[in-house]
Chain A
């Protein structure tokens, strides 16, 4: 639906949602540039990135919206998840409140988002095991109940970061003729190399 196919190229809008400081920008930066910053600037409004992945027979070009996490920015979120093919809901495993916040995002997307949206739940900062407040088991059970796929990630060590995006790319519905490409356009030129990403912050 929201992912559109052109030859073997797929364009997919992806949005990151989650509490402030959960590590949304860090996950994107790791995925797009392979970097990690100890102090990542807080995001205002949202930042846009794009990155292309080769999965099996196709290339998927992600158009990523990294949103601001502070509660009051919530009212801007629909603008970013409207028409999205995929979402990553991020929480910080060392912060129980951020998990509560993540569940609220899940609910909201289930009601308001695109029904075919591929939703991932990412428990980030998995490198901080000694400060853990949310068990992987609890999150896995929740994810199963809600039809999300779940991974614990670390933007710092890079653990599972690319995997989340690959997994989403694999699950994107394809071969369906796009009914209404919301916010998407077909690409008919060859996709850029999978590491040649344009990034904007």
Chain B
């Protein structure tokens, strides 16, 4: 299964649109959760060697592969910088978010 990304979620308009109890399709991400990020990790793909150490250490599971390249899901990345700290090639820069 591919790492899921945020999808459009049509809010229920009738009670029957709700599932029976709190169970639903796995990996259906309906909301984002990254508003407290102050620095964003930006990957320099020229330096990246696809070792996926960043994927292993990211505490939020927000590193993913898109079309064979390492990428960050900014909908959920909290900007902790662990990935940048651990990258053996210093391929990840932490850039201040513009408010």
Is the A/B pair a real complex?
A: no
